[in-house]
Amino acid sequence: MNVDLTAGGSRGGTRLDPRAWTALILLCAANFMVILDSQAVILAAPTIAKSLKMTPSAAQWVISANLITFGGLLLLGGRAADLLGRRRLFLIGTALFLVVSLVSGLASNGEVLITARALHGVATAMMAPTALSILTTTFPEGRGRNKALAAWQGIAGLGATAALIIGGELVDHFGWRWIFLMNVPVAVAMLLAGPVLLTESRDLSVGRKYDVAGALTSTAALLLIVYAVTKAPDNGWTGSKTLGMFGGAAALFVLFAIIESRMESPLVPMRILRSGALVGGNLATVAIGMAVFGLSLCAAEYAQGGLSYTTLQYGVKGSPLPAMALISAFAGQRLIGRFGSRRVVAVCALLLIGGSLLLVQAVENGGSYGSIFAGLAVFGTGLGLGTTACSAAALSGIARRDAGLASGFNAAAFQIGGSFGIAAVTTVIVSHSVGASQQAAMTAGFKAGFVATAYFGAAALLLALIVIPGLRRSREAERAALAAQADQEVRDAGSVSVN
């Protein structure tokens, strides 16, 4: 039995409850705060390290601790939402987000801040996939959901823009602590509005049987692989520690697959992995995440290290990327309905490649702002199109009972891709920073970093063309999924009436 009290009714053409759009504002606000926080911390990391007298190796854990727990727990957070209640877990995650933001803002030393950032990853691993699963169960497939997803992805671009501008202003004029403390009133508002705007929904078809073994092995595997990627620039991609952690993660994934095949109520039902759209959409999301996080890191280091921009200057001048992502996310939702996710992702990938190569040219030409603006704007346009289309593909044809799990997959794919992108681009920049002078070495390193992000875009292009189903196949799969869902609901209703 699948209990869903959210607006939107069935996946057919039922009319949306007017509260759905109001609830969407709340869900987008949560996504905005998650993105704003993560981007602002990256921007403020050098200032935080100096203020708390942290060594460079310790300072990286302000970012890495959050990446590891967030990426490692997303899948579990998404499935827990299906079983325990989506609204309930969203509010619990928001409450924890409030507490750790306050602790981070008041941290007296690096150890306290790193611990708080790790707990912050736990909070956002509950908030992000749960909010996306509420969106998925609230808006039926089609134009309404595409619009909602465009708003979801577009607000992420707005959050990234705000992080660059507001974060830079806060750090330069009020201190780094305010990038955490500004979360507190927003989290309070979400906790007050959540019970009013959101109704509870969860999957009761499996009762209260929990796949503890599956949860432990999948979470441990994800944590290990994100940790391995985070430490790869220090340990070496082919070093024994890195290879050992990757091997351990692979062994845990094999064990997880064995456990899932034998469980009556598995954490990840194998049926969900038969969806070509889900698999293809998430693989492309990994590649796009690598490109986005990798280019963001390279651009920030180039602007502040190579061009000597202040934090605020980079925040303002770097805003074309997230601003164009915001605009193109809304344009993308119309293109998805007309051309299908595969073609839109392919166009996105070409724009990511083009934007990266324009930035390579900008570095070669000494970093004129016009050339940087062009590269960031083209790349941002691809980002908005791609993330919306990948999410639409990955969440299409998914039964309501699996909405949280599918959302967890999608959020985890982007996060893990981002971890790979940051680690890979860091390695590339360092290994290619050679030359007769410091300036020549920096130029070579940053050029190589932007070339790497172009390769990530090429990987997204290949995945889009090979793995994501075309428009006709996607519609056929969606119709089949809807029919199966309707049959399941009829069987569940019959089971309830018999009992």
How crowded is residue 124: how many other Cβ atoms within 10 Å of its Cβ? 30
Query: For 286-305, what is each residue's pLDDT tens digit?
Result: 999 899 888 988 888 888 78
- Write out pLDDT tens, residues 160-209: 667 767 777 788 788 889 989 989 998 999 999 989 888 787 765 555 56
**Tell me, what's the pLDDT at 374?**
94
Return the CATH number at 462. 1.20.1250.20
- Give the tokens for residue 202: 């969860």
**Pick the residue with more confidence: 436 or 423?**
423
Q: Categorize the per-residue pLDDT at 216 as very low, low, confident or very high, splitting at 50, 70 and 90.
A: confident
The answer, yes or no, to whether residue 86 has pLDDT greater than 70, is: yes
Domain coverage including residue 145:
2-195+267-487
Cα distances (angstroms) measured from residue 317 to each of 294, 306, 391, 483: 18, 14, 29, 50
Nearest to 411, CA basis, from 95, 72, 141: 72
CA 488-491-497 angle, 5° bins: 140
Verify that 187 and 222 share a domain, yes or no: no
Q: Which of 247, 266, 285 is the last residue of a domain?
A: 266
* Average pLDDT over all residues of the chain: 81
Looking at the structure, tell me whether residues 272 and 369 fall in a common domain. yes
Q: Are residues 190 and 317 in the same domain?
A: yes
The secondary structure of the chain in percent helix, strand, coil, rounded to multiples of 5, reads: 85, 0, 15
Residue 420 lies inside a defined structural domain of this protein: yes
Please indicate, yes or no, whether residues 219 and 74 belong to a single structural domain of this protein. no
Residue 99 burial (10 A CB sphere; 0-12, 13-18, 19+): middle
Which band of pLDDT confidence, cut at 50, 70 and 90, is reported for residue 15? low
Which of 249, 266, 283 is where one domain is finished?
266
pLDDT at 376: 94
Same domain flag for 274 and 143: yes
Q: How confident is the model at residue 8 (pLDDT cuts 50, 70, 90)?
A: very low
d(CA 293, CA 453): 9
pLDDT at 488: 53
* Strand 201-203 relative to strand 2-4, pairing: antiparallel
Look at residue 293 in the predicted model and tell me its pLDDT. 84
- Give CA–CA dist 90/128, Å, rounded: 8
Contacts of 445 (CB under 8 A, 6+ apart): 428, 429, 430, 432, 433
Separation CA 252–CA 258 (nearest Å): 10
For the chain, what percent of residues have pLDDT higher than 90? 25
**Among the three residues 245, 266, 287, which one is the final residue of a domain in this structure?**
266
User: Quick one: 167 and 218 in the same domain?
Assistant: no
Examine the domain organization and report whether 244 and 311 are in the same domain: no
Q: Which helix (H) or strand (E) holds 3?
A: strand 2-4
Question: Does residue 304 belong to any structural domain of this protein?
Answer: yes
Give kind and range of the element (H or E) at residue 31.
Answer: helix 19-51
| pLDDT band of 116, cuts 50, 70, 90 | very high
Number of domains in the chain: 2
Nearest CA to 311 among 104, 39, 53, 101?
39
The segment with the largest mean pLDDT, out of 345-354, 416-425, 472-481, is: 345-354
Whether 478 maps to a domain, the answer reads yes
* 318 and 446 within one domain: yes
Measured distance CA(100)–CA(105) in Å, rounded:
8
**Is the residue at 95 inside a domain?**
yes
Is 93 among the domain residues?
Answer: yes
Q: 9 and 124 share a domain?
A: yes
Take residue 264 and report the two structure tokens written for it. 């009556």
Q: How far is residue 395's CA from residue 309's CA, in Å, rounded to a whole number?
A: 40
- Give the pTM: 0.75
pLDDT for position 58: 77
Q: Which residue has the tokens 């289309």?
A: 389
370 and 222: one domain? no
Residue 205 resides in a domain: no
d(CA 480, CA 475): 9
Residue pointed to by tokens 């690096």: 110
Distance (Å, whole) CA 457 – CA 226 = 21
312/310 Cα distance (integer angstroms): 5
pLDDT for 368-420, tens place per residue?
A: 888 999 999 999 999 888 888 888 888 777 776 776 677 777 777 887 788 78
CA–CA dist 169, 161 (Å, integer): 12
> Is it the case that residue 130 has pLDDT exceeding 90?
no
Q: What does the pLDDT look like over 246-271, one tens digit per residue?
A: 999 999 999 988 988 888 777 777 77
Closest CA to 316 of 150, 101, 172, 154: 172
**For the residues of 448-480, what is the DSSP string, one character each?**
HHHHHHHHHHHHHHHHHHHTS--HHHHHHHHHH
154 in a domain, yes or no?
yes
Higher pLDDT, 9 or 251: 251
Q: What is the DSSP letter of 266?
A: -
Q: Do the domain assignments include residue 438?
A: yes
Question: Both 252 and 126 in a single domain?
Answer: no
Give the tens place of pLDDT for each residue, 430-486.
888 877 688 888 889 999 999 999 999 999 999 989 988 766 655 555 555 555 555
Q: How confident is the model at residue 495 (pLDDT cuts 50, 70, 90)?
A: very low
> 11 falls in which pLDDT band (50, 70, 90)?
very low
423 and 451 share one domain: yes
Choose the weakest-confidence range: 194-198, 202-206, 232-236, 350-354: 202-206
Question: Which helix (H) or strand (E) covers residue 202, if one does?
Answer: strand 201-203
